[in-house]
Structure formats: structure tokens, C-alpha cells
């Protein structure tokens, strides 16, 4: 949980398609409104219009849910959501399982187009120095801990994950490299 909203900040969870509020415990897009939320992009009215709803809510691009007690939980970024066989797969959930593998130092989970499933779950992992593992070993590890539709169908072992200047993993670059 990320807790309760700050005083003066309103948060709502909406269906990304309809922008209508969803029931508690239902994953949707997180939208915020308040005096501390920026008013728009400097001299970019089109970008501002895309970032806000007509009634003034900021579309964060985050997916999350509101618990019955009012606490919020974030599930990931809407652009990173993988829909495989009609099921939603949140990459951070799979990445947490990969982090439990003794040979895995870092990982990123992406969705790649798949003719049968819509998207397939693909893991890109960096092993610890000197650790030996195989894609089959990592898939078996995940299969024992995740639902079948969440288990990576492919695992790529790399020496480093691409990151931006802020240290954030560049998933678009991974999709370009491994989904081709």
C-alpha cells in the first residue's frame, strides 16, 4: 500500500476505457486532483489536454486500486500492463518473484506480441556475478510461484539492463530488442 492521499489531494480509480469510477478493490487508472497538481505543460496545449480529463483530473498513467479502508495500492504503469490470453499481468508482480531467485540480480518483465495469446510475458534478467542459471531454470522457478498466465514464456539473460540517466529501466528498448 502507498497509504492515504495527502490532505487536499483527491484520488480516484477509474476504468481506463470509460473513465468511470470503479468499485473498491478493482484495478484501474489512478487519477488525481488538487492544488498541488500541475496545471499543464508549458506552451503544449495538446499534451496538456491529453494529460487531463475534461473535469480536471490528472491521468497519472499508473494502475492501482483503493482498498475498502481507503488505502491505495499501485500495481504498475498502464503502458507496461500485459494482457495475455485475456488476463492482466502486472510486470512488478512477476519481477518480485524473479527477485527471489537466488541467481537473479535484476530483472525487467515486458509484453511481446503473440498471435495466440495477444501478448506473451517475457523476462529479461541479469544474473549475480558468478551465478549460473538458465532460462528453463528461471521459468520453472516462476511456474512454481505464479499462475500459468503470469509465468514468463521466454527468458533472456543479459549482462546489463538499459537504464536512463535517472536509473530507470528502459522497457521500450527491451521491447525493441526482444519482441522483434
C-alpha 167/C-alpha 161 separation (Å) is: 10
Confidence of residue 180 (pLDDT cuts 50, 70, 90): confident
Place of cell 496545471: 39
Question: Considering the entire predicted model, what is its pTM?
Answer: 0.82
Residues of the chain with CATH 2.30.38.10: 9-78
Tell me the pLDDT of the chain averaged across its residues: 96
Share of the chain above pLDDT 90, in %: 97
- Determine the topology of domain 81-178 in CATH: GMP Synthetase; Chain A, domain 3 (3.30.300)
Mean pLDDT of 8-23: 95
How many helices (H) and strands (E) are present in the chain, helices listed first?
4, 9
- Determine the topology of domain 9-78 in CATH: Luciferase; domain 3 (2.30.38)
* Angle in degrees, 0-180, between the axes of helices 91-100 and 135-143, rounded to the nearest 10: 110
Enumerate residues 6+ apart whose C-beta is below 8 A from 130: none
Amino acid at each position: 500500500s502507498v497509504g492515504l492521499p495527502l490532505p487536499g489531494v483527491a484520488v480516484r480509480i477509474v476504468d481506463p476505457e470509460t473513465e468511470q469510477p470503479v468499485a473498491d478493490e478493482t484495478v484501474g487508472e489512478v487519477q488525481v486532483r488538487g492544488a498541488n497538481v500541475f496545471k499543464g505543460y508549458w506552451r503544449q496545449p495538446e499534451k496538456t489536454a491529453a494529460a487531463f480529463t475534461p473535469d480536471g483530473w490528472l491521468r497519472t498513467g499508473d494502475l492501482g486500486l483503493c482498498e475498502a479502508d481507503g488505502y491505495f495500492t499501485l500495481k504498475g504503469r498502464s503502458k507496461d500492463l500485459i494482457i495475455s490470453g485475456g488476463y492482466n499481468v502486472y510486470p512488478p508482480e512477476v519481477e518480485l518473484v524473479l527477485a527471489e531467485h537466488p541467481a537473479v540480480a535484476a530483472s525487467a518483465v515486458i509484453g511481446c506480441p503473440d498471435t495466440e495469446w495477444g501478448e506473451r510475458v517475457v523476462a529479461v534478467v541479469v544474473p549475480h556475478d558468478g551465478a549460473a542459471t538458465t532460462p528453463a531454470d528461471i521459468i520453472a522457478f516462476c511456474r512454481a510461484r505464479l499462475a500459468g498466465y503470469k509465468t514468463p514464456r521466454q527468458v533472456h539473460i543479459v549482462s546489463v539492463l538499459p537504464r536512463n540517466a535517472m536509473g530507470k529501466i528502459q522497457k521500450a528498448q527491451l521491447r525493441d530488442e526482444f519482441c522483434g
